[in-house]
Chain A
């Protein structure tokens, strides 16, 4: 209310002028580079993505190619937006995605460097858009539970403790944006995998496939070319959902447990009821 009042009565509106250094790259195999743009007439109430929209309008009017960047919900829940802003994934604010970052956070006349997520597993598609399907392939390897379809189960048929539900929910709040990979010195996806493994391993529905899941997901993670975790916790510091690195310890425990138990049955047994195939 204060801001709105000031705007109307004061008769002035703070307008921010910015210099942007943006990574431009025509396609996956093209050479890219940082290109400098000037934007003025940026309202502090604009989100970072709206500021880029304004820049793109400017570029389109000038007959230039607009900057490609990914976005969808613009309310911090879809995990589409990315951008490394001045060396920090999702920018200077903590616990928010780029779409929830507002221009009031930046001083007038500032130079902002905008880069894509950088990882071997996230090849650049164009400009600031990267291919994050590596995370989907990790999910396909084991980030699910197998259930029979049919009528919906009655609520609270399967009792889950408050603590377990809370822990699972904390892990499940991962939106799969990949900021953890972008922030990690080694481009490791451990926080992502940890969140997914922890989410399902904590709940009874995830228990039957618990052992196989963690093995398959870590194997898929390694296959995609992500680095390994060095426990620097940069991932936690940039995660828009504040996912704790305690889940990485949980993932390590799950992996150790699976390694010790093994994924196969102890011995080949006869088929049940004397059936023969």
Chain B
């Protein structure tokens, strides 16, 4: 136990583990978005995809537990680091001017917290179905859970579109700093590839957010119908 404590007392070790966990979560966000894009293929594709996942309960729940542990580790370590960082400068500057820090990098705590609330909301809303009582929880013609119907119902409502839009904004900002920052923390830098690593942050953030938003707005604007 004391070895673990000694390990995590090092700020660099904590950062390395937090960034590995964060990059793992980013990987999940990418695949989650790609899986959801099957909404555009129609109800059969997305309901089939959902039922494949549900038909493998051991794999599904292992993945869910894994994600929970990784997310918990990331959040726990980052909160610990942020609290320690706050102690680094007890007296603030009267005048402070930033030169290099991006908006995304300066709002990591804010976007991270928003993201946590959004993820909890999202799980309660679309995974557990506890938020919206009027949501259809029926089965489709083939007897599978009608995920397609749920999505259509949710994003017709401007309230949910608004909440998900803010959530995606937070996700985009968080990822745009997180990915390149995580690579730097892991010591992954290279004279020739550094521009690519920097672009990877905003590039992947934009990719995930635009993918997710395309679903939300396609439903809201009536491009995808029940």
Contact = CB atoms under 8 A, between A and B. Distances in A.
Interface stretch (B13-21, B23-31, B46-54, B163-171): B13-21
Interface string A214-226: 0000110110011
Contacts of B177: 231
A185 B186 contact: no
B215 to A, nearest CB: 31
B80 to A, nearest CB: 10
For the residues of A in contact with B, the DSSP-based class is mixed
Nearest to B96: A87
Interface in B168-226: 177, 180-181, 184-189, 191, 194
Interface residues of A, number: 48
A120 B89 contact: yes
A242 interface: no
Contacts of A229: 11, 15, 185
Interface string B86-124: 111111111111111110011010000000000000000
Contacts of A246: 189, 191, 194
Given A186-B88, A226-B88, A238-B99, A231 B94 contact: no
Contact of B10 (A119, A222, A226, A227): A222
Contact of B12 (A86, A184, A185, A218): A218
B185 A227 contact: no
B81 interface: yes
Contacts of A187: 85, 88-89
Contact of A256 (B88, B89, B90, B187): B187
A84 interface: yes
A222 B9 contact: yes
B64 interface: no
Interface string A142-183: 000000000000000000000000000000000000000001
Given A249-B188, A252-B16, A237 B92 contact: no
A166 B99 CA distance: 27
A187 B84 CA distance: 10
A118 B92 contact: yes
Contacts of B194: 246
B14 A186 contact: no
Contact of A231 (B14, B184, B188): B184
Contact of A86 (B97, B106, B108, B181): B97
Contacts of A255: 12-13, 16, 187
A250 B187 contact: yes
12 contacts: A87-B95, A113-B95, A120-B88, A121-B88, A187-B89, A221-B11, A228-B12, A228-B81, A234-B98, A234-B100, A256-B187, A259-B13
Interface of B: 9-16, 81, 84-102, 105-106, 108, 177, 180-181, 184-189, 191, 194
